[in-house]
A and B are shown apart, each in its own frame.
Chain A
């Protein structure tokens, strides 16, 4: 392979990498916000799944993919609110409530899908929309740069645009500072007159919105259907991405890209003689290995007394 061909090959991989990173990054940013507020959103997986179905249903009912997106976002937000309701009003356990939300979504999506279409597995009979990819007018025509920057999915642009937005939200706005204060010490925040419950509700609703966008990408990004359990653990991968992100939105993006790269790698190897099941297990093994490496690096920074 010549040098140029190698370059071309790598350039070809970039769109794939960005595509598979998109749902992980969106969800991971959502987890990031919740974790900063001290209410780790373990229900992110279920939120994605429910939003994916809601997007398809809203899109099929209205005939518009954008209405579908709105439906997905709203579903994520509502589930985020329900999770905070369980924690703050019912005083249920944070982790178990998150698990319950995932169970609720797994069962609920199948039930709703069946009741509406008569099919438990796929939403093929519903004609739902696909959200568009965007070609950026002038840049699209530049040889390599065009391939790198243009032609991605609208939600891919959104995901990467959300990184600075979330970073600024968390670091530079009164809202973000208070949110972080609540997560770090609810008691100290309350002494400063901050309403802890309200901040945590807001964090989970925001987290749900981002998970909703991730869900919409799954069912309306490149395909136009919902299938049972289509989130496939990406929410949990997003949890890992957040843990590895050193508590910052940019770090979360780097971790999401790393975990997305495992996904992209798998896709690039497909059809090359490696059993597909083994390939499919890689995106879940890589985060575990990455967490171990991350934990060891983190530990070196502590000095034993």
Chain B
């Protein structure tokens, strides 16, 4: 019985191993030291405390972006504005701490709140357009991401830019605004705790609140929601407002947690990582935590390989893309034969 309930989980693990191997082995063979590269990738992240800490640092935005995506996907909304919301949330947070004179203790909370409001628009605008005009939230959010990026870069360049810094970066973020580090020898910051709590809160929201319940019903079967008389449109919009707010907050937290200045020259890609994290976690908020940690582990492995073996960390992007396809491939993950094999069950009459 236990084996049978664990079979889907085991299958997912198997799929992950295949995805990693399918990318890593060919790339390694193209390097002078294949064994060394694979060793660095797989075990490097655990060799020093600092690198292990990196995994947790990177999992912070991954968890939050994954949560944003999961909440929207759960309600049946394919809104991909998380990428733009993350970027804009970070930028707005930076703008507030740099431009608005605030007492030190108020900086982070006020800036993060402002970042949430401004940044969430990357998800909310497509949501409203879907709600009012039935414009595909998928297409409009994809394009809005680019618009948001260019407008953001304009703000950086014209308002926040520090002329004394060489590159196109903002003024320094005041030390008071930064989120406190909580683990000696790493850059793990307060935001990480917040991300863990957010995943738990997300789980409570989806499974223990009226609003979350309604969004699950709408996402699972809009016809059923209509039969029950639920306000489908507002449930859908609410999911996108929530998703955008969380993604924007993730951007703000990332900025105040790890950065000295706002220095992104383009979309950072965390939103797309969030999509992979959410899909891997099958849109379950609690599973976002291991899912984000795993993808961050790959990211740290990729960074180490990039530094030591002259292989760009885009290797990780390939693995992520492969995971996204394989995890959603129902021919694999719902294959009765594979599941039976893993649960040790003999062939039975029914599927």
Q: A277-B151, A288-B140 are in contact. Are A104 and B135 (CB under 8 A)?
A: no
Q: Tell me if B139 and A103 are in contact (CB < 8 A).
A: no
A272 interface residue per 8 A CB criterion: no
> Which chain A residues numbered 81 to 103 have a C-beta less than 8 Å away from chain B?
86, 89-93, 95-97, 99-101, 103
**Contacting residues, chain A, for B321 (C-beta < 8 A):** 100-101, 103-104, 107
B residues with CB within 8 A of A: 27, 30, 78, 80, 125, 129, 133-136, 138-140, 142-151, 153-154, 157-158, 266, 272, 275-276, 279, 311-312, 314-318, 320-322, 324-326, 328-332
Q: How far is the CB of B204 from chain A (nearest CB, A)?
A: 27
- A239 nearest in chain B by CB position: B139
> Which chain A residues numbered 262 to 305 have a C-beta less than 8 Å away from chain B?
275, 277-278, 280-281, 284-285, 287-288, 291-292, 295-296, 299
Counting contact residues on chain A (CB < 8 A from B), the size range is 35 or more
CA separation between A176 and B332, bound complex, in Å?
Answer: 32
CA separation between A106 and B150, bound complex, in Å?
Answer: 19
**Contacting residues, chain B, for A108 (C-beta < 8 A):** 314, 317-318
Q: Tell me if A277 and B324 are in contact (CB < 8 A).
A: no
A111 interface residue per 8 A CB criterion: yes
Interface string of A14-55 (1 = CB under 8 A from B): 000000000000000000000000000010000000000000
Q: Tell me if A292 and B133 are in contact (CB < 8 A).
A: yes
With A114-B312, A229-B266 given, can you name 17 additional A-B contacts, CB distance below 8 Å? Answer: A91-B330, A91-B331, A97-B324, A97-B328, A99-B80, A100-B322, A100-B324, A103-B320, A103-B321, A108-B317, A236-B142, A240-B143, A275-B154, A277-B153, A284-B144, A284-B147, A299-B134
Q: Tell me if A96 and B318 are in contact (CB < 8 A).
A: no
**Contacting residues, chain B, for A299 (C-beta < 8 A):** 133-134
Main SS at interface, chain B? helix
Counting residue pairs across A and B whose Cβ atoms lie within 8 Å, the total is: 142
Q: Tell me if A107 and B318 are in contact (CB < 8 A).
A: yes
A120 interface residue per 8 A CB criterion: yes
**Contacting residues, chain B, for A101 (C-beta < 8 A):** 321
**Contacting residues, chain A, for B324 (C-beta < 8 A):** 96-97, 99-100, 103
List of 5 A-B pairs having minimum Cβ-Cβ separation, nearest first? A107-B317, A277-B154, A281-B150, A90-B329, A104-B321
- A46 nearest in chain B by CB position: B321
Which of B138, B154, B314 meets A107, CB within 8 Å? B314
**Contacting residues, chain B, for A170 (C-beta < 8 A):** none
**Contacting residues, chain A, for B266 (C-beta < 8 A):** 229
Q: Tell me if A103 and B154 are in contact (CB < 8 A).
A: no
Q: Tell me if A236 and B158 are in contact (CB < 8 A).
A: no
Residue pairs across A and B with Cβ atoms less than 8 A apart, 25 shown, are A86-B325, A90-B331, A92-B328, A96-B275, A96-B325, A97-B328, A99-B324, A104-B321, A104-B322, A107-B315, A107-B316, A107-B321, A108-B318, A111-B315, A111-B318, A114-B314, A120-B312, A237-B143, A277-B154, A281-B146, A284-B144, A288-B140, A288-B143, A292-B133, A296-B133
Q: How far is the CB of A139 from chain B (nearest CB, A)?
A: 37
Q: How far is the CB of B278 from chain A (nearest CB, A)?
A: 10
**Contacting residues, chain A, for B157 (C-beta < 8 A):** 275, 277
Q: How far is the CB of A282 from chain B (nearest CB, A)?
A: 8
A243 interface residue per 8 A CB criterion: yes
Q: How far is the CB of A104 from chain B (nearest CB, A)?
A: 4
A161 interface residue per 8 A CB criterion: no
Q: Tell me if A115 and B30 are in contact (CB < 8 A).
A: yes
- A278 nearest in chain B by CB position: B154
**Contacting residues, chain A, for B140 (C-beta < 8 A):** 240, 288, 291
Q: A92-B325, A92-B328, A92-B329 are in contact. Are A295 and B318 (CB under 8 A)?
A: no
- B302 nearest in chain A by CB position: A107
**Contacting residues, chain A, for B158 (C-beta < 8 A):** 275
Q: A110-B314, A291-B135 are in contact. Are A284 and B329 (CB under 8 A)?
A: no
Q: Tell me if A280 and B318 are in contact (CB < 8 A).
A: no
CA separation between A114 and B318, bound complex, in Å?
Answer: 14
Q: Tell me if A295 and B133 are in contact (CB < 8 A).
A: yes
A233 interface residue per 8 A CB criterion: yes
**Contacting residues, chain A, for B136 (C-beta < 8 A):** 243, 291
Which of A99, A104, A229, A288 meets B129, CB within 8 Å? A288
**Contacting residues, chain B, for A103 (C-beta < 8 A):** 272, 276, 317, 320-321, 324
A232 interface residue per 8 A CB criterion: yes
- A287 nearest in chain B by CB position: B143
